[in-house]
Structure 1
Amino acid sequence: MLILNVLFSIVLVLGSGRACDDIGEEEQLGLFRHQQLDDSVLAYDYSPNPWSSLNYQPRSRLPGYADLYSKGRTSVKRPELIVPPRSYLTGKNGVENRVEGRLALRDFASNFINTGVFNNRFTPANTWRPFSNLANRIPVSYNPNFDNPLDNFDACTGPNGHSGICVPGSACSLFGGRPSGSCILGKVCCINVMSSCGATVTLNNTYWQSPSTISTPSTCVLTVKVDTKFIEQKRPICQIRLDFISFTTTQPTAGTCSDTFRVGGTTTVVPVICGDNSGQHMYLDIPSSDLTSSNIQLMFNFLTASSIRSWNIKIAMLPCGASYLAPGNCLQYFTAATGRVKSFNWQDTPTGTTRQLNNQNYNICFRTELVSSQRAAQICLSVCSVTNGGDPFSITTPASLRPARTGFDAISDLPIPAAALNSNVGTAVSNAAGDTLVATCLYDFIIIDGGRGVNGITADRYCGNHLNPAVGTVRLPGLTTSVQVCTPMRPFVIKYQTDGTEAAIMTANPPAVPAVARNDDLNTGFCLDYQEL
């Protein structure tokens, strides 16, 4: 029987050789190259457009000049399809490089062997794979220095609108994701969703959703690990972008959060936030993962029982050198010629509580866009329209409108909060008696460098209940209307800062506490529409 099997195999091989002889040599070569390319694509999960970033490139980069925000940054180069050399399996000096627990290397080895090496000679219709189990017995090591197309994960969007990455179905299961739609080359759009506390994320475009039950007091933490040794992070990561698809926790008390959301492990100083922040976003700077690995912690802390806590946060890992990275020291970054920017926890709801958060200190940056085929020469800001009784601009209630010395606190001689509706600019004014320095836009304010109103008046620092650079008088600061404020100062940046209290500051202690200030009254923060011109 053994002899018969051997003779039968010889006849099959000879028959295959004769069949190939019937095809022209040039046609054979063409078919072989075509099959080799197809097998390489399948074997290495090659994608022609790695690290697609449609969500973060709404417009093309401006030709003919260097972006003020992007000095020193280089665009991401597309990897070429390269058949890995022998050194791929070993590192420098012949030392093997191994990465554990991220992608099934046995799957890679199986694909590499079955399609990329041994089986090129077999046609796609031939399902006989004599070496299909060989990969399971061969240890395969991974060299992270080799630009392997296996490591490129295209961004994709599922039918439900969620972002994901294109990977083979088996890899999606390995990452703990769920397939949602299809990609090219037989891949699936893998949506990765976490809904627990204490989990770890290594995959781009992961969604962190609130668990079904939240006990109190408690802390819920998610760790984002970045390291180029992870196959799913082949390109070095320099920033993390958080998109708050939904975010609702308890409201602050006098500006101080009882529920808190904090970020740790980044070089960006992130303020503590709470309340309603759906639609907001943050950019987090981290050291390049090509130089050092990082663990970024996203932390919720809950002190009291509440039934309104829920969140869904999209976590995007942005590669170094990408054109859509935010400038350094910019917590928020807007990349459109028009849009809306809001302070954290601002909502168009009837006023009655303090929505402005304490201890905010961050920059909001705007990319210079093309307007009528020209670089924008200025950016203009105006308060947004409200329909539900919200207040679009309320930062530090301005001085009292009451007559001289009426309505002043007998101890501090400071104006008592009244139904003040005026704008304020600058840093300080005197009280009615002229002998006490009373802060206006010194503790809570926004800064618009070079801001100029329609009346031609300029001011950099704004607070009060209206956006207006008008100064007014000591007893009647500012005006009772908001106007559009424009600035030609590039790069376009707004700085937002609040102190740690809404109460009156009774004693000055320069330089930390440069002046006394009365207490604030139901401040809400700001909502501004912007337009580049």
Structure 2
Amino acid sequence: MFGKYLGSVFVVCLLADILQTSSMNLTSPQRPRNGKVLSLFQIIQFQNGFCMGFGNRNGTCYTQGECEARDGSSVGTCANGFGVCCAFTLSCGQSTSENCTYLVQSSTSTIANPCTYTVCPANNNICRIRFDFTTFNINGPVTGSATATIPALTTAGGAIGDCATDIFTITAPGNFAPPVICGFNTGQHMIVDASRTMCNEAQFSLNGMGTREWDIKGKLEPKMAHEFHILKQLLLVTQYNCGDEQGGPDGCLQYFTGLTGTVSSFNFPTTSAIVDPTTTHLSSQMQTMCWRQEMNTCAICWIPVVLGSDTITGSFGLSVSKNKLPRGETDGLCSGDYLQIPNAQSNVETNADDTFVIGTIGSDVNLSDRICGRFFSSALDDAERQLSRSVCTQQRPFRMTFQSDGDEVTLTKVVTKNPANLNELNRIPGGIVGFNLRWTLQTCS
């Protein structure tokens, strides 16, 4: 646990007749029997725990000397001013075992290639390592372009979504590694398993032209460390139950807490005003997202985010549709790219029997495990799948997995119509979009 090391400050005190006892657990000297005043060293000890610094930087509380010896930099004070909040910044080719380490690359086209950062567990109690992408912008994948008219013939379906120039990877020795990603991923995060004997490597391989920048904060998560969870509240502005794993359940690449928020596929333009028709999700993804069940919540619902005034392109599109018109699909019709939501239920407002109610399942409500197509919906009525709906599940623990294959379905023969079942680029929204969903935990009835 990070707190096992203690920082020490040696203070020389000339004791007067009246001694003050510090709140920092100072050892108060005793006046000798002969009445003389003694001068001695006193030791102030504090745990090397998490601290909040300035300039959007956090760190670990060390003495000034300890921070300098570890090649850290002070971003504030801690321990009532006796320590400094020590932050660590890693450059390409360097390694660290410090908590709250930042992997930083300023906006420039001159970057070591490949750029590798080595992150080692601080001790044998470390089981998960979290990487927060404060800024992440490298070259994106091969893109497609959805159109309302008949698109041109193309054989590029196997390349669409591939990270053909720049890639980012994180290793997880002895465990399942995260998928390869590229493009825009600001605000995303990944949590990987740590090894007891080997370090994790985060690597950027840059093979295209352009300007890139990133600012990634690495946080080492101790297993079942209650004291660290309390400190983490300040960092993530959330609350944790005693004994909970901040790193999330096993197998979860991403972990969300709170009552509401957003979640998206990697390379989704979450900060854009609209969803451009060229928005393309990444190939060969296995992105498992997990949510903590907050107090008095019994279900979770998702619905696509509307960016600006965009109500046409939408924030969801995975694969082709069953029919010529774009619509949502479920289960057996989702084989290439899809979201897996165990026991997903529709929450449509057109029929009272379909409305989602915790603890009950309507007679005409469709239970699905996979969702794909051009609209986000698991409605039983096909007509209701031509608009995105709220989709919910009461299955716990709350979990959703995004699975994508290595190919996109594109048009390879001449057609006179524009069917959505033959080409992911046919019609708007396209089947190459990916997803950007708002999630909300539902209170128990």
Give the structure-1-normalised TM-score.
0.60
**What residue number does 1:192 align with?**
88
Report which of the two structures shows the higher radius of gyration computed on alpha carbons: 1
Asked if the contact 1:277/1:345 (under 8 Å) is kept, the reply is: yes
Higher RCO, 1 or 2 (CA under 8 Å, sep at least 6)?
2
Contact 2:93 2:116 in 1 (8 A): yes
Q: Does 1:499 align with 2:405?
A: yes
Task: Point out the structure with the larger helix share.
Answer: 1
1:388 to partner: Cα distance: 6.3
Instruction: Give deviations 1:371-400, integer Å, cap 9, x for gaps.
Output: xxx2x1111111112116463111113145
Q: Deviations over 1:107-128 (max 9, x none)?
A: xxxxxxxx9xxx98899x9667
Match of 1:242 among 131, 136, 160: 131
**Matched AA of 1:385:** V
Amino acid at match of 1:339: G
Residue aligning to 2:188: 280
Amino acid at match of 1:193: T
- For residues 338-487 of structure 1, what are the structure 2 equivalents within 5 Å? 338-347=260-269, 348=272, 349-370=274-295, 374=296, 376-387=297-308, 389=310, 391-399=314-322, 401=324, 420-428=325-333, 441-453=334-346, 454=348, 455=354, 456-470=365-379, 479-487=385-393
Partner SS for 2:200: strand
SS of the aligned residue for 1:170 comes to helix
Q: 1:317 aligns with which of 220, 223, 242?
A: 220
- Structure 2 regions of 5+ residues with no counterpart? 1-13, 143-159, 226-243, 349-353, 355-364, 413-420
Shift of 1:426: 2.2
Number of residue pairs matched by the alignment: 352
Q: Write the letter of the residue equivalent to 1:470.
A: A
Sort the Cα spacing of 1:487 and 1:39 in 2 relative to 1 into closer, same or farther, 3 A: same
Residues in 2 aligned to 1:272 and 1:120: alpha-carbon distance in whole angstroms:
63
Q: CA deviation at 1:366?
A: 0.7
The residue identity in structure 2 corresponding to 1:427 is: G
Deviation of 1:447 after TM superposition, in Å, equals: 1.1
Q: How does 1:512-531 map to 2 (within 5 A)?
A: 518-521=422-425, 522=430, 523-531=432-440
Is 2:99–2:122's contact at 8 Å kept on the other side of the alignment? Answer: no
**Whole-Å Cα distance in 2 between the matches of residues 217 and 209 of structure 1?**
12
- The sequence identity of aligned pairs, in percent, is 29
More strand by share: 2
Return the letter of the residue paired with 2:291. Answer: F
Partners in 1 of 2:260 and 2:344 — Cα distance? Answer: 18
SS at match of 1:363: strand
- Equivalent position to 1:210, from 96, 105, 108: 105
Indicate the RMSD between aligned Cα atoms, in angstroms: 3.3
Alignment CA distance shift 1:277-1:241 (3 Å) = same
3-state DSSP class of the match of 1:218? coil
Consecutive aligned runs of 4 or more in structure 1 exceeding 3 Å deviation: 34-40, 119-123, 125-129, 211-217, 470-473, 503-506
Aligned partners of 1:342 and 1:528 also within 8 Å: yes
In 2, the alpha carbon distance for the partners of 1:384 and 1:504 equals 26
Taking structure 2 as the reference length, the TM-score comes to 0.71
Which structure 1 segments of 5+ residues have no match?
1-15, 41-114, 132-148, 229-234, 402-419, 429-440, 507-516
Indicate if the aligned counterparts of 1:283 and 1:330 stay in contact, CA closer than 8 A.
yes
Amino acid at match of 1:303: N
State the secondary structure of the residue aligned to 1:448.
Answer: strand
State how far apart, in whole Å, the 1-side matches of 2:437 and 2:128 are. Answer: 26
